[in-house]
Every structure is written in structure tokens, then in C-alpha cells.
A and B are shown apart, each in its own frame.
Chain A
Amino acid sequence: DAKTTQPNSMESNEEEPVHLPCNHSTISGTDYIHWYRQLPSQGPEYVIHGLTSNVNNRMASLAIAEDRKSSTLILHRATLRDAAVYYCIPTNTGNQFYFGTGTSLTVIP
């Protein structure tokens, strides 16, 4: 599975956009890029996933670089409830996820 590099922590002001980067330079052609987040004292929850094209859903957008070696999770308007650890998980084995340490997002009121 591809190794990932994410910032340990990031801060954002409430109601401003947040761009969470992830480098996955060893990603294979069949790896999907999944993003999960873990709110305090809860299990992880699915955010979004994609393969090559940018993806949007009600929670976030996923921008994937043309060479697929990096991706960015975009929260369009951060709320206090978005404070969480965000995990970027490239995988080609369907459901064997390898979580790294993720990015801890702090949202400032």
C-alpha cells in the first residue's frame, strides 16, 4: 500500500475554507484515495473517495493531482464540528485500510 504524508496539524477559522493536503507518491494506478475523519471520542467516519477525477459530496470535495501523487481534501466552510483528525488512505485492496497518524484540524471560532 502507498505511504502517505500529511501535516500533523492545521488550523482554520470558522466559516473559512480548509485545504487538507496528502502526499502519496508511491500510489499505484489502481489505488483509490479514501478520506476518513475521526471526531473526538468517536470512531472514524467516511468523508469521500476518488480515483482520478475530482469528487464532490455534501461533506467535502476531493481534488486529485493529475499525476495522482497527491490529493487535497477541501472543506468549503469549516465549522466547529469539523474539528477532527483527517486520514488520507490510498488502497487497492478494497477494504484493507492502513490509517496513518492523519492531520488534526483545529477550527477557531
Chain B
Amino acid sequence: DADVTQTPRNRITKTGKRIMLECSQTKGHDRMYWYRQDPGLGLRLIYYSFDVKDINKGEISDGYSVSRQAQAKFSLSLESAIPNQTALYFCATSSTGPYNEQFFGPGTRLTVL
């Protein structure tokens, strides 16, 4: 079984709808991240969490919110989806301490019509 899983893998929704993307990990890591990737571009950090009670904004947090329900679960919400939020979304985890490698999930492809 994959160490970092994301659900759903693909989602098509309409403008104005609320959407939740979920991430679960079995690696026992404290740190979790949400990234967004647009076509032809690198990943941009949306939010990150160093433990259950620690949530931080990343580079592009506007229009998104997150919830860290447990050490193993980190959800990303779009309260009112808009077309320019169409992108590939990745969740990642890492262990505590600097400079440790991040492990990425398979991604969720979100299309907002």
C-alpha cells in the first residue's frame, strides 16, 4: 500500500462549489504539506503543518483552508471553487527536523468549470 494517499484522484466540479481534498499517510511523519502544480510550472506551497496544532500559510494560501484532523490526516478545502484553481494538487509528508526528504502522494487532478 502507498505511504501517502490522496482522495479523490480526479475531481470535476463547478464554480462556487465547496471541495475537500484529503491526504492520509502511514509513514508516521509529523509534517504534512499541500502543493499546487499548474501546467508547465513547478509546485507551489499552499499550506503546511508541523504537527496537529501547527498550521502555516505557504506561498499561495488565498482561497484555500486546511484541517489537520490527526497526525496522519491533512485536508485541503476550497470554500468556493473558481476556474483558476484548476490544477494538480499534491500532498507531501516529512519527518521532524530540517533537511529531511519529503514524500509525495500521487496527486489529485481538480478541474473547476
- The chain A residues found within 8 Å of chain B, CB to CB, are 32, 34, 36, 42-46, 49, 87, 93-102
Contacts and interface: CB of A to CB of B under 8 A. Distances in A.
Nearest to B41: A101
Interface of B: 4, 31, 33, 35, 40-45, 48, 58-59, 90, 92, 94, 97-107
Contacts of B101: 46, 49
A34 B94 CA distance: 14
A100 B48 CA distance: 18
A101 B31 CA distance: 24
A99 B58 contact: no
B104 A45 contact: yes
Contact of A44 (B43, B48, B94, B98): B43
Q: Is the interface of A mostly helix, strand, loop or mixed?
A: loop
A46 B102 contact: yes
A46 to B, nearest CB: 4
A44 B104 contact: yes
B97 A98 contact: no
Contact of B98 (A45, A94, A98): A94
A68 B93 CA distance: 28
B58 A96 contact: yes
A95 B48 contact: yes
Contacts of B59: 98
